[in-house]
Amino acid sequence: MGHWLHQNIVEPGKLPLLLALTAFVLTFAVTRFITRMIRAGKGPFRNITPGGMHIHHVVPGVVLSVVGGFGAVASGADGVSAGVCAVVFGTGAGLVLDEFALILHLDDVYWTEEGRQSVEVVVLTASLVLLVLAGFSPLGVEDLSGDQQQGRLGVVLTYAANFGCVLVALFKGKARMAVIGTLVPFVAVIAAVRLARPASPWARRLYRRRHRARARSILRAYHHDVRWAGPRRRFQDLIGGAPDRTPLPGPPRH
């Protein structure tokens, strides 16, 4: 295990990236735990409201991201300082992306349906960083035998082909399958060969005159959404907490 870690993580210079990813995931998990406790009115946690103004955690997140980012540039890729800056940056990024929906909508939508976008972005970011780590810098490791170099070249070509499938999946409007496909190549291949989503750039350009394909695309998208909307919402609720359920306005009471 120690040799594997040194050859694939330490030697290619990916230890700071691993530390940043770990800090990012832990910060998001701890932040969501605290905000859910505040929402439920449990524990010692409270919102920070100096002078009556609510300070969102995106604010310290931006500060930490700036400090960690500039510190990493100044310290270089090696040494203890690089690791410390990576942890600071990962912590700040976790705080910022936990409130991605607030930045996108310029409104406090943390516990609304729009707030689910923050969870999706965090999962996407963690998945992509994990993919970079899983690549193990196949051409950037020293002291490899000929068989090892050939094997790693095969890995690079496989990743290149899978990346092409991921791009096709994105153009077909299958963002979630594209993200999963970055880690599980078989999923990207399936997404690339199947019909595109009706509103995707692929469908708008290539299904314009193919009426049968467009009709099949609409029908398949409908059945897919009906089947998976519930499990996807439960998964998001498990990670980030369920949004507020605003009751529909009813008839006036006298």
Instruction: Mention every residue, 6+ apart, whose C-beta is less than 8 A from residue 88.
Output: 23, 64, 67, 68, 71
Instruction: State which amino acid sits at residue 17.
Output: L
Cβ(54)–Cβ(48) below 8 Å: yes
Rounded CA-CA distance 125/115 in Å is: 16
Please spell the DSSP secondary structure of 158-182, one letter per residue.
Answer: HHHHHHHHHHHHHHTT-HHHHHHHH
Long-range contacts of 51-57 (CB under 8 A, 24+ apart): 54/108, 56/99, 56/102, 56/108, 57/31, 57/95, 57/98, 57/99
Whole-number pLDDT of residue 142: 47
pLDDT in tens, 74-93: 877 667 888 899 999 999 99
Instruction: Mention every residue, 6+ apart, whose C-beta is less than 8 A from residue 66.
Output: 92
Locus of tokens 């519930």: 230
Domain boundaries, the chain: 1-141
Whole-number pLDDT of residue 67: 95
**b/e per residue, 65-92, with b = 16+ CB within 10 A?**
beebbebbeebeeeeeebbbbbbbbbbb
Whole-number pLDDT of residue 223: 83
What value does the CA radius of gyration of the chain take, rounded to a whole number of Å?
22
Whole-number pLDDT of residue 140: 47
Whole-number pLDDT of residue 86: 93
Whole-number pLDDT of residue 19: 92
Whole-number pLDDT of residue 150: 58
In 3D, which of 101, 18, 20, 27 has the Cα closest to residue 60? Answer: 27
Per-residue pLDDT of the chain (254 residues; tens, 9 = 90+): 666 666 667 766 788 889 999 999 999 999 999 998 988 888 888 888 777 777 899 999 999 999 999 998 887 766 788 889 999 999 999 999 999 989 988 888 888 888 888 888 888 888 778 877 776 444 444 455 556 555 666 667 777 787 888 888 888 888 778 877 776 778 888 988 989 988 888 888 888 888 888 898 888 888 877 887 778 778 777 777 777 765 444 444 43
Whole-number pLDDT of residue 24: 96
Whole-number pLDDT of residue 153: 66
